[in-house]
Structure 1
Amino acid sequence: MSQLKHLEEVLLTGDPIRTWWNEQRIWMMKAIISYTIGMLNAVLKLLGLKEANFVPTNKVADDEQITFYQKGLFNFQASTVVLTPLITLVTLNMICFAAGATRTVVDGSFNAMFGQIFLSFYVLMVQYPLIDGMIFRKDKGRVPTSVTLLSLAISASFLCFGSLIIKS
């Protein structure tokens, strides 16, 4: 309900729906990054290790960043610590969406799987720029291949660990 109210406020101010959609993306990105880094700092502090740190991106706009902005593209030249949680969750959602859709077709359990498939699909649609940056873009602002591979390994680890827990 709050999202509909937010959409109404965006439209009443004269902004397009794309503004609301981008605000949803940024909200998800900020939440994922801040909670992940906060949890990582808490675990490292509990273990007596040093706190996690990363180098923020350069805020000075160069010609290339201006070009990305004008084209409506995200620039993914950021720290691995920032990108890895985002890419990992998108990768997990892609796998879960594909598995859920396959299970729905094979088992014919659309009613039982609708909520799970819809949620995965929504996350994928909101975070489409990340998928685009991982798979399709070939410019300098794309998601680094090392981050994509690391996230794929983390996703596979989560899925294997989860399947072991469920089978136990």
Structure 2
Amino acid sequence: MNTVLSAMALDYPPEKLSVYLSDDGGSSPTLRVLERLVLLLEEVLSSGGSVQTWWNEQRIWMIKSVTVYTYGSLDAILKWVGLRKASFVPTNKVAKEGQITLYQKGKFSYQASTVLLAPMVALIILNMVSLVGRVARMFIPGTWKYMFGQVFLTLYNVALNFPVIEGMLLRKDEGRIPFSVSLLSVVFSLAFLYLGSIAL
């Protein structure tokens, strides 16, 4: 939700934006997020995990919430309405040599369907645009107290999804995000920003 609010309100005055997000410029939502993260970190560490395990769990949760849960819910609704019949398509689950190598290096392989990758990449692009806009607006005198919570949450999202950004921009191996997916996601992001600018 932070992505949507940040992206849609990119051109909105920060003193008015704070009224819509919270009465105190976003610090209450920020504290709730921090509390949740600390409690989860404590749980992971007490069960023998590491900080890296906790960080990866955050990444996987974010990826699942954007892709799997969205498409699963959409599929269930379409079946319930009667627009889609249940189907089963077997797929190959055998790992390729390149995927095993990437896994051993601790890197994600983005050799997946465009339908799964495009929404996730589009949201990350929106987060990057929002972060740049928010940081730029923090330098306007008197807006620091309004922008801190928004910048923190957006920075957290960008940092959490750095492997996806790396897969889009930096990696050259076979597990990178295809250029066509990145381009499609940029188009989705621009369309969303345009619609947001019209709505606000």
State TM-score, norm by structure 1: 0.86
- Do the aligned partners of residues 44 and 71 (structure 1) sit closer, same or farther apart at CA in structure 2, a change above 3 Å counting? same
Instruction: Tell me which stretches of 4 or more aligned residues in structure 1 moved more than 2 Å.
Output: 1-6, 12-15, 38-51, 55-59
Distance 1:119 1:103 in 2: 15
Matched with 1:153 is: 187
Whole-angstrom CA distance in 1 between matches of 2:146 and 2:94: 49
Q: Mean Cα displacement is larger for which, 134-143 or 2-11?
A: 2-11
Seen in structure 2, the aligned counterparts of structure 1 residues 46 and 164 have a Cα distance that, compared at 3 Å, is farther
- Which residue is 1:139 aligned to? 173
Please report how far the alpha carbon of residue 13 of structure 1 lies from its aligned counterpart in structure 2 after TM superposition. 2.9
Matched, 1:71 2:102: no
Aligned match of 1:103 in 137, 156, 162? 137
| Residue identity opposite 2:101 in structure 1 | T
Pair 149,10 (structure 1): closer, same or farther in 2 beyond 3 Å: same
Q: Tell me the alpha carbon deviations over residues 5-47 of structure 1, each in whole angstroms, 9 at most, x when there is no partner.
A: 3212221233220001001100111111134324644786799
Q: Aligned to 2:67, what secondary structure does the other structure show?
A: helix
Whole-angstrom CA distance in 2 between matches of 1:93 and 1:153? 15
* Distance (Å, rounded) in 2 between the aligned partners of 1:125 and 1:90: 10
Structure 1 residues 73 and 104 mapped into 2: Cα distance closer, same or farther (>3 Å)?
Answer: same
More displaced 10-residue stretch of structure 1: 106-115 or 140-149 = 106-115
Distance 1:95 1:66, change over 3 A: same
Gaps of 5+ in 2: 1-34
Cross-structure match for 2:31: none
Sequence identity percentage:
49
Q: Secondary structure, in 3 states, of the residue corresponding to 2:139?
A: helix
Residue of structure 1 in register with 2:162 after alignment: 128
Unaligned runs of 5+ residues in structure 1 are none
2:70 corresponds to 1:4: no
The residue that corresponds to 1:28 in the other structure is 62
1:103 is displaced (CA, Å) by 1.2
Q: Alignment length, in residue pairs?
A: 166
Between stretches 98-107 and 120-129, larger displacement belongs to 98-107
Q: Which has the higher contact order (CA 8 A, sep 6+)?
A: 2
Distance 1:111 1:85 in 2: 31
Give the C-alpha shift of residue 4 in structure 1: 2.2
- Alpha-carbon distance in 2 for matches of 1:152, 1:42: 28
> Is the CA contact (8 Å cut-off) linking 1:134 and 1:143 kept in structure 2?
yes
Matched, 1:19 2:53: yes
Aligned-residue offset at 1:48: 7.5
What is the CA–CA distance in structure 1 between the aligned matches of 2:117 and 2:61, rounded to whole Å?
15
